[in-house]
Amino acid sequence: MLAAVVRARVRQSFKNWSYDLRLFRWFYKEYEEQRESPHHNYASEATIEIPDTFKCIRLETFPSKTITINKEQAERIYKQMATIRRLETVANAMYKAKLVRGFCHLYSGQEAVCVGIHAAMRPTDHLITAYRCHGWCYLMGLKPMEILAELAGREAGCQRGKGGSMHMYNKRFYGGNGIVGAQVPLGAGIGLALKNEAKGNVCVALYGDGAANQGQIFEAYNIACLWRLPVIFVCENNEYGMGTKMHRSSCSIEYYTRGVPLPGIYVDGMNILAMHNAAEFAIGFVQKEGPIIIEAHTYRYFGHSMSDPGTSYRSRDEVAEVRSKRDPISYFKEITISQGLLTEDQCKKIDEDIRKSIDEAAEKAKKSNEVKKEELWADVYMDNKEVGIRDTIGNRHKHFHAGKTLEKDHIKLKSFTPDTKLEPKDIPFEIKEWEAQMEAIKDVEKGKKSNQKSKSDDKPEKK
């Protein structure tokens, strides 16, 4: 009897066990199938290897070549890049429909530069850029509707339609600047204010390869380096300054090396992850060591501005090749899908939602009116110190605020006093070598002089 009970129990537990095993096998098979499927969507985060494209100079530590991102971050990055791309497509259409007049420089193709840097920035960091600024306007907090209305010169625009494409601002965002290179010394100035404020914030100052040869760029490097200002100089090298290829305007196209003795990093500006890591490294670096240069190698898909078809100085094939092989959005989409962070369907849905919301923003922008004539001289200054507005003799316009103005505590100007505690910059090793060489030369010179002196001492005095 007992033996029969034991036999029955053993049979039962064997059955249970084999059932468990079958269940396990089934689960495992499902899991494997999902893993191999291009549409799987199971990873909550992934560590991605960044192709080794960094080049560094005058640095002893380097940006990381791996990055760990989670689903939410991947989705946010994809959304930001796709929004900027769509925003420019709509701006292009509005320009062609003559709703946008004047200048309009599109950013399509360069999205990874701004999204990558922005992902590494803290909310309290500051930024200034040139006229190709729509992507940055969006990332620095302006809504697509405000940007499109600004382009169209409407009062719903972020500057009530009085700034246009090149002059949009927000807190900690100093535009949009139309004078090539002018924003770079301004960025150094913001860096000086931030250093005085002593809260550990940094300023990113962007300029193009076409601006990189200007004298004021080197003057800004010099003073920033001398005073160890927390500034990241970013050269957005899109290979062209208007219709001039970089090789025709620059004796050296290694823009990251050109700030002697500033350190520099070259990064693939079409790779958002590499861009992020370079910016993250730079933010850490400038707080401790002083300024640094990042050269982001990128490409613009449209002409220089809307009035340039962009095909007389480069071939359509060249643009098509970059679009098919180096497109920053396609790269990010592929890598995140292959890592299981996003799915094809999810990306499609995001694209559709963005298309809809930007189209709605454009419609809303178009319905807004232009500001009235009287408002043209309003909001010229944030904090006007004079009674009227200069150079309005005859009209004598009094200053007044009509629309939104930037908050006064942009940077706490009260603490803007000359920094007397500046320490001399730690001398980078290359300079130390130079100094040693200079000392050696001086010694030789001294030796020569004393030799000459003793020789001349030997000479009989002329009478």
- Indicate whether 209 belongs to the interface with ligand TPP (CB under 6 A): yes
- Indicate whether 132 belongs to the interface with ligand TPP (CB under 6 A): yes
What is the nearest approach in angstroms of ligand TPP to the Cβ of residue 86? 20
Q: Which is nearer to ligand TPP, 209 or 379 (CB)?
A: 209
CA distance 196 to 191: 9
CA distance 197 to 416: 7
Nearest to 271 by CA among 235, 297, 302: 297
CA distance 330 to 112: 11
CA distance 348 to 201: 37
Q: Which is nearer to ligand TPP, 242 or 380 (CB)?
A: 242
Helices and strands, number each (H, E), in the chain:
13, 10
Question: Cβ of 444: how many Cβ atoms within 10 Å?
Answer: 10
> Which stretch in 73-81, 118-126, 206-214, 419-427 sits in contact with ligand TPP by CB under 6 A?
206-214
- Indicate whether 88 belongs to the interface with ligand TPP (CB under 6 A): no
- Indicate whether 112 belongs to the interface with ligand TPP (CB under 6 A): no
What is the nearest approach in angstroms of Mg ion to the Cβ of residue 247? 12
The residue from 59, 180, 350, 402 that contacts ligand TPP (CB under 6 A) is 180
What is the nearest approach in angstroms of ligand TPP to the Cβ of residue 109? 11
CA angle at residue 191 from 189 to 195, to 5 degrees? 120
- Indicate whether 238 belongs to the interface with ligand TPP (CB under 6 A): yes
The residue from 161, 191, 210, 269 that contacts ligand TPP (CB under 6 A) is 210
Q: Which does 301 bind (CB under 5 to 8 A by kind): Mg ion, ligand TPP, none?
A: none
- Indicate whether 223 belongs to the interface with ligand TPP (CB under 6 A): no
- Indicate whether 176 belongs to the interface with ligand TPP (CB under 6 A): no
What is the nearest approach in angstroms of ligand TPP to the Cβ of residue 108? 12
The distance from CA 262 to its chain's CA centroid, rounded to whole angstroms, is 19
The residue from 109, 191, 208, 230 that contacts ligand TPP (CB under 6 A) is 208
- Indicate whether 241 belongs to the interface with ligand TPP (CB under 6 A): yes
How many residues of this chain interact with ligand TPP, rule: CB under 6 A? Answer: 14
Question: Cβ of 58: how many Cβ atoms within 10 Å?
Answer: 18
| Residue 237: strand pairing partners | 297
What is the nearest approach in angstroms of ligand TPP to the Cβ of residue 208? 2
- Indicate whether 269 belongs to the interface with ligand TPP (CB under 6 A): no
Q: Which does 328 bind (CB under 5 to 8 A by kind): Mg ion, ligand TPP, none?
A: none
Classified as helix, coil or strand, 296 is strand
CA distances from 457 to 448, 452, 463 (A): 14, 8, 14
CA distance 195 to 201: 8
CA distance 368 to 255: 43
CA dihedral sign, ordered 298, 301, 306, 309? positive
The residue from 179, 320, 422, 444 that contacts ligand TPP (CB under 6 A) is 179
Alpha helices in 227-368 (DSSP H): 246-249, 272-288, 316-326, 328-338, 344-367
Q: Which does 179 bind (CB under 5 to 8 A by kind): ligand TPP, Mg ion, none?
A: ligand TPP
The residue from 178, 261, 284, 388 that contacts ligand TPP (CB under 6 A) is 178
**Of residues 185-244, those binding Mg ion (CB under 5 A):** 208-210, 238, 241
Nearest to 85 by CA among 366, 423, 333: 333
**What does the binding site for ligand TPP look like in residue numbers (CB under 6 A)?**
132, 178-180, 207-211, 238, 240-242, 304
**What does the binding site for Mg ion look like in residue numbers (CB under 5 A)?**
208-210, 238, 241
